[in-house]
Chain A
Amino acid sequence: MAKKRIKLIDICYYRSGDKGDISNIGLMAKTEKAYEIIKREVTPERIKSHFKGWVKGDVIIYPMDNLQSLEIMLYKALGGGATKTLRIDQTGKAMGNALVKMEIEVDESEL
């Protein structure tokens, strides 16, 4: 089966926010097939490695079948949180943009 590298942005929408030093990313699959792909491919380990040191704590993923979405929590991920961080993006609004650039590998037949 031919494999293809895609970015999450090709099959997902996103919105991200914060609570304290926790970044929260909602990753919404554009189709049912895409939801199956992200449930399988988007793992805490891959997310943490994608953020290369910006996420210092755990990553927890909650699936939401009703919305075909993943609710992703990144702990210790915002440089201390909105009021303490030195980042321009104080409330993690761009963390979703950063995530959807992540590449995954899928079977071409899945798309």
Chain B
Amino acid sequence: MKKVRVGSGSSGWPDFKDGALDVAQNGDIDYISFDHLAELTMAILQSQYAKDQMRGYIPEVIPLMRGLLPIWKEKDKHFKMCNNGGGANPPECANQVLKIAQDLNLGGFKIGVITGDTIPLSRVDELRKEGWKFKNMDTGEEDIGSVRDRLLAAYAYTGADEIIEAYEQGADLVIGGRLSDNSLYCGNFMYPLGWKFTDEYWDRIGSAVCVGHLLECSSWSAGTCSNLWEEIDYPKGNPGFPIAEMDENGDCIVSKTETSGGAIRVQTLKEHLVYEVHDPENYLMPDGIADLTQIKLEQVGKDAVKISRYGDKPRGKPRPENLKFCLAYNDGFIAEEITVVCGPKVFQQAEKAHEFVKRRLDYLGLKPREMLWSLIGWDSLCGPTVGSPPPDYDPPELGIRIAFKCDTEAEARACRTECGHLCWASLGVGAGFTQPPRIRPVFALWPTLIPREAVPLSLEIKETK
């Protein structure tokens, strides 16, 4: 039976770099995928690119490829790679990787460069004139009218079509922009197994979408961020990244290398299968809609889990007509301050400090749009679910974190300054002021949809001499 081994190389920015190198060196892989982008990263990269056309890609791609390409050469150029580290500037990212390949004398090294997922704001306006509405999928707002004059960037989450096309044209590495995390894997399963976007294959593509989800967060399926954290071992301090061996029927074994730490258990995969999927019967990705309730997990080895069919329904349905589209817009500034209260009576001191700051802001006429006062050591992570502290509870110290959102940077700074004054005003509160994080502009996201045909993707092959 035809099989393909696909390794996970990276999730987000930055990830453990040694994970990818271990997978490439010891994982006996045919393909490896690298996700480098979080939800907001593209907006940051687009603003970098607007200032400097040599930037706008993920800088970590370069050292990663410097480590990886010698292994690729040593493995007789066997495995293929794809990433979305091109961000807002895949061509320049490819140029820099080509230099590394050139230095290593990798003649004929081919990179497929995918562009077109960044949509100019002028095109967004045209689409609106043509009648398309960018309905906010979070809030239900019908269109972007309320934020149009604050828009910064717009990008579509694209599918595996161009990855497959790049491989067909002989690419060894594919560099894209906002290629969906999941499609980096779907492409690597679909191309070698010969799966097409047709009725015959939706069940298997559903499985690919599911397994792509399991692999796209790298070590998160192999025991990091796990409920089993305390019992899982990392003898050398290197978390394992998952590797999936998919067969032509869409069944698969997920494992990891013996040289890495961590673990592949039913539990470590299960906890990722329930992660951020929303409606599990309709897990929407650009290449297909997976039904994650039709997936069975079964331990078949120490670090090996079989993934097969659970029920009698198809594991996948035809891919959605539209692509996910994100518009980023300016939404004011956030300032933060952290201080540590020294006991005794930490809660009483913190409450008094809270009152004092509120009165200072009123006195000075400062009106932050939002303010959050939270106590590190009590409610900063779980909020009101923790309730009030018991009357006899007085820990030796307590952190106070204060955050403000304001329309302008100056106002955010002024609010923060008043928190700094707490160290003059109070007895124990000023004992441990830290250097505050820098005031940050808020890039808010407007998640919406765009028709596939409105995203003009293109593929170019670059090659070393």
Contacts and interface: CB of A to CB of B under 8 A. Distances in A.
A59 B273 CA distance: 20
Contact of B295 (A50, A66, A89): A66
Given A20-B138, A26-B277, A86-B370, 7 more contacts: A15-B275, A28-B270, A28-B271, A66-B296, A67-B295, A87-B372, A88-B380
A83 interface: yes
B271 A13 contact: yes
A21 B404 CA distance: 18
Interface string B124-156: 000000000000011100000000000000000
B382 A19 contact: no
Interface string B272-307: 111111111100000000001111110000000000
Interface string A26-46: 111000000000000000000
A97 B381 contact: yes
Interface string B302-336: 00000000110000000000000000000100100
Chain B interface: which size bin? 35 or more
Interface in A58-97: 62, 64-67, 69, 71, 73, 79-84, 86-89, 94, 97
Contact of A14 (B227, B277, B295): B227
Interface in B4-36: none
B267 interface: yes
A22 B138 contact: yes
A10 to B, nearest CB: 13
A27 B380 CA distance: 22
Given A66-B296, A97-B382, A73 B271 contact: no
Contacts of A53: 384
Contacts of B293: 64-66
Nearest to B228: A13
Contacts of A69: 270, 274
A14 B228 CA distance: 11
B96 interface: no
B414 interface: no
B217 to A, nearest CB: 9
Interface string B365-385: 000001110101000111111
B275 A24 contact: yes
A71 B274 contact: yes
A98 B376 CA distance: 15
A81 B137 CA distance: 13
A52 interface: yes
Contacts of A54: 383-385
